A and B are shown apart, each in its own frame.
Chain A
Amino acid sequence: MSRQDKIRNFCIVAHIDHGKSTLADRLMEHTNTVSKRDMEEQLLDSMDIERERGITIKLTPATMKYTCNGEEYTLNLIDTPGHVDFSYEVSRSLAACEGAILVVDASQGVQAQTLANVYLALDANLEIIPVINKVDLPSADIPGTKKEIEDIIGIPCDEACEISAKTGLNINTVLDAVVKYVPAPKGDSSKPLKALIFDSYYDSYKGAVSMVRIFDGQVKVGDEILFMQTKKSFVVTEVGVYKPQAVETDCLKAGEVGYIAASIKTVSDTKVGDTITLKNNPIDKALDGYKEATSVVFCGIFPLDGDKYQELNDALEKLKLNDASIHFTKETSLALGHGFRCGFLGLLHMEIITERLEREFNLDIITTSPSVEYKVYDNKGKEYDVTNPTEMPPLPTIQKMEEPIVKMEIITPKDYLGGIMDLCADRRGVYLDMQYIDANRTKLIYTMPLNEIVYDFFDKIKSISKGYASMDYELSGYNESDLVKMDILLNGEICDALSIIVHKDKAYARGRALCEKLKTVIPRHLFEIPIQAVIGGKVIARETISAMRKDVLAKCYGGDVTRKRKLLEKQKEGKKRMRRLGSVELPSEAFVTILKLDD
């Protein structure tokens, strides 16, 4: 057998909480890749946020050695991120594999994400290995789960592994199945180098490191490699594999999974989906499926404490080192001072980055309402890309506006079809098609403006369908649209950070909702504060926060002045978290409420 025949490249797909990460841990433990002593729960999820939320954001592959029928095999496990924001990254990870383990919780059966992920795997022509997990639970229904997988997904389950990732029961059957059913890679080491970057990260010693799957050819230290999309070339300084820590090797050959370091300064040069080849002996055509990571959601990020601007800048620079998909430029807001306009892959990506800024860098930040990229044409035919409502040209000079449109696919059990169709219609969706996947499940296809889904669409779909529906979307272009910029006036002054771009038909409802919501989050002041929603100078909604009529008329009992002082100091401390805008003090939550408006 050749070296390649004993390689298996695979990933694990599962619904959230069905035990993907636990299984990955167990596989590594069982193959002695990691000793039990060093085992940290859910090893592959290396970020705190990933572990807490039970989601994978950054990938970590692992190379394992496993002996089956007297032969030693190299098993490369490539983890996949589990959210629609990262569907492109998922697709590149899948493209690096030949097989996928499908994990289904025996007590919960097939779930929405199971389907979404398994379809992605089927699209990538992967061999699917069904694994029934949590069979040790009293509520486990093994025959029922198998039947569901067969009926809904159409994968035979006679030989499905029945395991408990938690206790380690039957883990070897999974490893055996991987060896038996996942096809060996079919590359040719003698051909010119063809390697796919499925992820990259920044290492302070090695520079930007590309995680790669070698399809053809080989690569070793000293080779001059060419990145086919960025057209940049570098000299390789190190190659290696993940165990799951990076371990240097002599070379990487066809079929293998590992890393390439080449003293590259930024991960912007090691783009996910790019193809690496040799500069002196290149291939003609890059691998299919490359896409630029484009920002689709934008928001302002400001330090709560204006003095922390430089710290925020440094923190973003550091995050950018590891995540080429973050974009940021300086922004100045009247209400919030100096900060940054940032672009993200999606809402979750935005949430993760803001959470990391707060947790890993200890920064208190304010994020403004998310926006998408609009195209605005003025009277003279000049085109502007507007990602920030404050950059909108004045209303009278605008000739037309266009907004990004996505093609949206939603898979839902038919019980929730009505609710979801109502939601899509409400979000200006245009119905394209409906397909019956099976007796129970339906796929809906819509086109929809992106700005209707950046706020809370995903949450809404989940809540309407009790978590069973899943969605995916891709940008399909721009459509002309009747959009307006809506400003919010507090006590007569525009709060630029609260301005949004909204469709004209929805402006009234949204303006009303926004004013009502702001009324609940802005504390009472000593004087009355009108809150107004305004379009082009015309007030479309108004609420009033009445003046505070409250005080603690407590006695300084027996001379206990300290208690009273501390009370006031606490009140004062509370005010520190406020943003002062003219005469109005806004809590940072005010900016977040825009995201969480219930229509």
Chain B
Amino acid sequence: MVKNKPMGLYVHIPFCSKKCDYCDFVSYSMNKKAQQQYLDALFSEIDLVKRQYIGKTFDSIYIGGGTPSIVYEGFIAGLARKLFSSFHFAEKTEFTIEINPASFTKEKFFEYVQAGINRISVGVQCLDSKLLALHGRLQSLENIKGTFDILRNSQFPNVNGDLMIGLPGQTRSSVLKTVKFLIKNKVKHISTYGLQVEKGTMTFDKIRRGKFKSIPDKKTVSWYNKIYKLLKKNDYIRYEISNFAKPGFESKHNSKYWDETNYLGLGVPSHSFVDGYRFYNTKRLDTYIDAMNDGKSAVYSKEYLSKANRRTERIMLSLRTIRGLDLEQFEQDFNENLLVSRKDQIDLLISKNMLKIEDGYLKVTDKHFYVSNSIIVSLI
């Protein structure tokens, strides 16, 4: 459907000075030597795969983590140079880096800007220092304020604030305080992520042992809806279930995940979606580095999406967006009229005011946007 659209490029930086208790991403504690080895390995991977992308254009880069802002000075600049010299980029390429306020400095900021980064995503999560400390996140309110001071003073144009809801101990007022803070700092984009407590994390363990009480769904829903109203009032558009932006500031990169555009992931354990294949790299740093030293692929698993899986993904991804599901396109691609094949469910959900059809698009209504998982499940 969108094969000719420019691709996205994701690079994972798997280093953190300390893992947050709730996090289940791949990260390793930092030391300069390991970082250097990793950067070398990334270069090798780029050299290994770049030939396959000759003739393809990229229009987004996203450096995520882990904590990309923690690596030594020069890492990001070097990486950026390598990327620009290895792949073909569109003129208006969105180039994002995720930063943690605890490790963000003016020097790093200059490095990023010079490297061509034009979008910074700040991992704010919550303004409550005590709560952040409780969850093992190394950043203080001062760090956060300092970060926004740097960004504001330089009039950096495109900032995203990440916000987490549902952290045990969080309150409605602390959530809203954080949102208001972001609005006041004129961020162009806000992502709100509901905490999903994953097995194997400290948070999971603490909840299981009764040290933390998880926040009931009812509460997070009401917080989410309040955030939605607040942001709407301040001219943010909810263009996807977790993503709000001022008009024109929707993330190009994030959108690729939802509209089935190709994207390439580099590093551990990055995920890619290219011409119908989903694949991802090993999550082990040593395995990755060894593979790259040997000039071998680091791909751990690769799957060609069957039609059935593509169908599931289409429903699941498009209903997360404000645009919704293009019914005509769906019928063209899957030879199935969803309004016929899922008539009972769709009729029921429309009668319950959970779904609506507008201009040939099936959409989840505002009020039920947040509970869309179950709506999606009844359609797949």
Contacting A554 at CB < 8 Å: which of B64, B194, B303, B378? B194
Task: Using CB atoms, name the residue of chain A closest to B263.
Answer: A559
Complex Cα–Cα for A561 and B320 (A): 12
Q: Is the CB of B349 within 8 A of A526?
A: yes
Given A564-B316, A565-B313: A559 and B193 interface contact (C-beta under 8 Å): no
Option from A548, A551, A562, A572 in Cβ contact (under 8 Å) with B271: A562
For residue B25, CB closer than 8 A to chain A, the reply is: yes
CB <8 Å contact, A559 and B257: yes
Contact of B12 among A526, A548, A558 (CB under 8 A): A558
Least Cβ–Cβ distance between B124 and chain A, in angstroms: 15
From A551, A556, A559, A575, B373 is in contact (CB under 8 Å) with A551
A526–B375 Cα distance when bound, in Å, is: 8
Residue of A nearest to B317 (CB): A561
Query: Do B352 and A527 have beta carbons less than 8 Å apart?
Result: yes
Query: Is A560 engaged at the interface, CB distance under 8 Å to the other chain?
Result: yes
Most buried by B among A527, A552, A565, A583: A565
> Is the CB–CB distance between B352 and A526 below 8 Å?
yes
Judge whether B280 is part of the interface by a CB distance below 8 angstroms: yes
Give the contacts of A547-597 with B (CB-CB under 8 A). 548-562, 564-565, 568-569, 571-572, 575, 583
Q: How far is the CB of B309 from chain A (nearest CB, A)?
A: 7
Instruction: Indicate if B380 sits at the interface (CB-CB under 8 A).
Output: yes
Given the known interface contacts A553-B193, A554-B194, A569-B312, the answer about A562 and B303 at a Cβ–Cβ threshold of 8 Å is yes
**Number of residues on chain A facing chain B (CB within 8 A):** 25
A554, A559, A561, A569, most chain B CB atoms within 10 A? A559
Say whether B221 contacts A549, CB under 8 Å.
Answer: yes
Stretch at the interface among B169-177, B199-207, B364-372: B364-372
User: Is the Cβ of A551 less than 8 Å from the Cβ of B193?
Assistant: no
Q: Please measure, in the bound complex, the distance between the C-alpha atom of A368 and the C-alpha atom of B60, giving whole angstroms.
A: 58
A260 CB to closest chain B CB (Å) equals 58
Closest-by-CB residue of A relative to B25 is A557
Nearest-neighbour CB distance to chain B for A572, whole angstroms, equals 5
Q: What residue of chain B has the Cβ atom nearest to residue A551's Cβ?
A: B373
Partner of B193, one of A526, A554, A564, A575: A554
B115 CB–A CB distance under 8 Å = no
Q: Smallest CB–CB gap between A156 and chain B, Å?
A: 59
Cα separation A565 to B271 with both chains bound (whole Å): 14
Q: Contact at B273–A559, with CB atoms within 8 Å? A: yes
CB <8 Å contact, A568 and B377: yes
Complexed CA–CA distance, A551 and B166 (Å): 12
- Inter-chain CA distance A49–B380, complex, in Å, is 39
Q: Can you name the residue of chain A whose Cβ is closest to the Cβ of B194?
A: A553
Q: A553-B193, A554-B196, A575-B377 are in contact. Are A561 and B242 (CB under 8 A)?
A: no
State whether A549 touches B371 (Cβ < 8 A): yes
B372 pairs with A561, CB closer than 8 A: no
Q: Is B265 an interface residue (CB 8 A)?
A: yes
Is B67's CB within 8 Å of the partner chain A? no
Q: For the complex formed, measure the closest distance between the CB of B314 and the CB atoms of chain A, giving whole angstroms.
A: 11
Chain B stretch 162-206: residues in CB contact (< 8 A) with chain A: 191-194, 196
Complex Cα distance A569/B196, Å?
18
Residue of A nearest to B219 (CB): A549
Question: Do the beta carbons of A555 and B242 come within 8 Å of each other?
Answer: yes
- The answer to whether B380 touches A551, judged by C-beta atoms less than 8 angstroms apart, is no
What CA separation (Å) do A553 and B193 show in the bound complex?
6
A571 to B316, CA, bound (A): 13
Q: Report A-chain residues with C-beta under 8 Å of the C-beta of B270.
A: 558-559
B278 CB–A CB distance under 8 Å:
yes
Tell yes or no: B354 within 8 A of A by CB: yes
CA distance A559 to B378 in the complex (A): 23
What is the bound-complex CA distance between A569 and B265, given in angstroms?
24
A561 contacts B257, CB within 8 Å? Answer: yes
Do the beta carbons of A561 and B273 come within 8 Å of each other?
yes
Provide the bound-state CA to CA distance between A558 and B270, in Å.
6
B265 touches A548 (CB 8 A): no
User: What does the 1/0 interface line of A524-559 toward B look like (CB < 8 Å)?
Assistant: 001100000000000000000000111111111111
* Pair A526/B64 contact, Cβ less than 8 Å: no
Q: Residue of A at shortest CB range from B313?
A: A565
Having A526-B352, A550-B371, A558-B270, one finds 19 other A-B pairs with CB under 8 Å, namely: A526-B349, A526-B354, A550-B217, A550-B221, A551-B373, A554-B193, A555-B191, A556-B317, A559-B10, A559-B257, A561-B317, A565-B309, A565-B312, A568-B316, A568-B377, A569-B312, A569-B380, A571-B374, A572-B380
Q: Which 8 A-B pairs have the closest CB atoms?
A: A553-B194, A550-B217, A551-B373, A559-B271, A549-B221, A556-B257, A554-B196, A551-B371
Interchain Cβ contacts under 8 Å between A and B, 11 examples: A549-B221, A555-B193, A559-B8, A559-B271, A559-B273, A561-B273, A561-B313, A562-B280, A571-B374, A575-B377, A583-B348
A binding-site residues for B, Cβ under 8 Å: 526-527, 548-562, 564-565, 568-569, 571-572, 575, 583
